[in-house]
Amino acid sequence: MGHQVVGMEDYVAEDLRPLSRCLADVESCDVYVGIFAWRYGSLATDAGSSGLVLPSNAVLGKTSVTECELRQAIDKNKPVLAFLLDQNAEWSPNYFDAITGDGENGKAITRLRQELGQKFMISYFRTPEDLASLVSASIYRAEMGRQMTLKSIDIEAGLNQPWVRKDTPVNDSALGTIQSAIAGPKDIQALQIDVGQGLDWWMTRLYFLTSMAADLTSIEVMVFLGENDSFLGVAHPRIVQERLLHEYPDLQRYETALTVAGRRAADLPNEVKRRADCWQATMGPTENVSPIWVTNRELRNWLFPYFITQCVEWDGDSGSALQIQRLLDWPMRFVPVVEKNRFTRVVDKQALTDQVARIFVRDQVARALSTFR
C-alpha cells in the first residue's frame, strides 16, 4: 500500500540495544500496529544507551518490550491500531503463556488485552487472511484521516485583534500584523474572520482586509465564525469585496483614492502600507461615526447567494469511507469541516482527491503483485 513497515524481525546488527531501537522506531512512525495473541513477550531488561527514557507505566524487568512499544505509541500520540487474536481461534499450546507458565502464567497478557479492549477500538482475527484484511482496511482509514489533515489549507487567523477590527487606525499598530499576513513569507490560502456576537467587526474594516486579500494575494477562501468557533459560512474574497461595494457605494471613495494616488508599489509590504495610508485618509475620519457591524444576519444579506453556509460534519471516525466520500463529492474545491459544532479546518478537495487516487492505485498494484506471487 506504499508504506514502509518497520518491525523487530527486520532489524540488523547495529550499536543499539533492542529496547532503545524499538522505542526510537515507534517515535518516528506514523501509525502503530499492535498484534496480540496469548504471549506477553520478552521483558525489557536492558536500559540501552545512556539517557533512555522509558514510556509511562513501563518498568525495566517487569514490562515486556511489546508493551513498552505500545506505551511509547500512546505517549507520543501515535494512532494505535490494535488487533487481538479471537479467543476461539485455533492456536498452538506452545504459544499460550497460561500453558507454558511465562508472563505470570498468562496473567500479564490477559491484563494487557483487557486494557486494549477498554481503551481502544480493537479488531479480532482468527486467521492470517482475517488479519491482513483488517489491517489493510484500518491503515487505509488512518491514512485517509492523515491525508485530510495534510491537505487542510493554511488559514490566517491572526488578524482577529481588536486594533484590526475597529478603533485603532489601520496604518498604526495594526500595520505590522496586516503586512505579515498579506505580504509575509507564509503562503496563506484562507482568512478567518471571527465575528463573535456581531459587535467585533466594522463592515469598513472587513472591506479593507477583503480588498487587499482579493487584490494582492492568492487567497481563495474567507471563513466566517461566530461564538465558540461556530461555523457561519465561507465566501471568496472577491465576492465579499464586490458585494460590500455594491451594498455601500461610499466605499468607492477609497477605491477612487487608490487610483488617484498613483502606481502600485513595487513590493507587497510597501503596497500594504500605501493602501493603509490611503484608507486612513479617505475612510478613517468617518469610520466610527455610524459603524455598521458585521453579524451573521448581515453576512447572509450582503453575500447571498454566494455565502456558503453548508459544511461537512466530521464525527471523529477520520477514515470512514462515507465521510471521505462527502469530502470528494463537495461541489467546490475547498471544503469547510466542523467537529462537534466547532470549525476545525478547510480541506483542499483537489489535493485530497489526487492523493486518494494514488493510494488506490498503489493498493491495487500491491494486490495484483501479491496474487501474481
Q: Which residues of 189-222 are buried (b: 16+ CB within 10 A; e: fewer)?
A: bbbbbbbbeeebbbbbbbbbbbbbbbbebebbbb
pLDDT over 80 (residue 120): yes
Residues 68 and 177 in one domain: no
Of 318 and 196, the structure prediction assigns the larger pLDDT to 196
**Separation between Cα atoms, residue 72 and residue 233, nearest integer Å:** 40
pLDDT over 90 (residue 266): no
Q: Is residue 136 part of a domain?
A: no
Residues 324 and 243 in one domain: yes
Residues 92 and 197 in one domain: no
| Confidence band, pLDDT 50/70/90 cuts, at residue 70 | very high
Q: Is residue 135 part of a domain?
A: no
Residue in 49, 68, 70, 51 with CA at minimum distance from that of residue 59: 68
Residues 122 and 173 in one domain: no
Q: Is residue 39 part of a domain?
A: yes
Handedness of CA 230, 234, 238, 244 (dihedral sign): negative
What CATH code is carried by the domain that includes residue 199? 3.10.580.10
pLDDT over 60 (residue 297): yes
Q: Is residue 2 part of a domain?
A: no
Residues 61 and 159 in one domain: no
Residue 62 has a pLDDT of 92
**Separation between Cα atoms, residue 323 and residue 248, nearest integer Å:** 40
Residues 269 and 177 in one domain: yes
Give the CA distances from residue 121 to residues 66, 138, 315, in Å, rounded to whole numbers and listed in that order: 19, 11, 15
The total domain count for the chain is 2
Residue 50 has a pLDDT of 59
Residues 295 and 244 in one domain: yes
Q: Which residues of 299-318 are buried (b: 16+ CB within 10 A; e: fewer)?
A: beebbeeebbbebbebeeeb
Joined grid coordinates for residue 179: 503586512
Q: For residue range 324-339, list pLDDT tens digits in order.
A: 778 888 888 899 999 8
Residue in 133, 96, 92 with CA at minimum distance from that of residue 1: 133
User: In a 3-state reduction of DSSP, which class is residue 335?
Assistant: strand
Averaged pLDDT, 257-264: 87
Residues 118 and 218 in one domain: no
Residue 299 has a pLDDT of 96
| Confidence band, pLDDT 50/70/90 cuts, at residue 14 | low
Q: Is residue 139 part of a domain?
A: no
Q: What percent of the chain has pLDDT over 70?
A: 90
Joined grid coordinates for residue 186: 507564509
The neighbour count for residue 30, using CB atoms within 10 Å, is 12
Residue 226 has a pLDDT of 94
**Separation between Cα atoms, residue 251 and residue 231, nearest integer Å:** 27
Structural domain boundaries enclosing 75: 8-126
Ranking 5-9, 16-20, 97-101, 285-289 by mean pLDDT, the lowest is 16-20
Joined grid coordinates for residue 191: 482568512
Residues 122 and 160 in one domain: no
Residues 99 and 211 in one domain: no
Lookup result for grid cell 453575500: 303
User: In a 3-state reduction of DSSP, which class is residue 263?
Assistant: coil
**Separation between Cα atoms, residue 270 and residue 217, nearest integer Å:** 14
Residues 100 and 216 in one domain: no
pLDDT over 60 (residue 100): yes
Q: Is residue 266 part of a domain?
A: yes
pLDDT over 80 (residue 155): yes
| Confidence band, pLDDT 50/70/90 cuts, at residue 316 | low
Residues 118 and 251 in one domain: no
Q: Is residue 150 part of a domain?
A: no
pTM: 0.67
Of 265 and 226, the structure prediction assigns the larger pLDDT to 226
Rounded mean pLDDT of the chain? 86
| Confidence band, pLDDT 50/70/90 cuts, at residue 357 | confident
**Separation between Cα atoms, residue 348 and residue 147, nearest integer Å:** 10
Q: Is residue 239 part of a domain?
A: yes
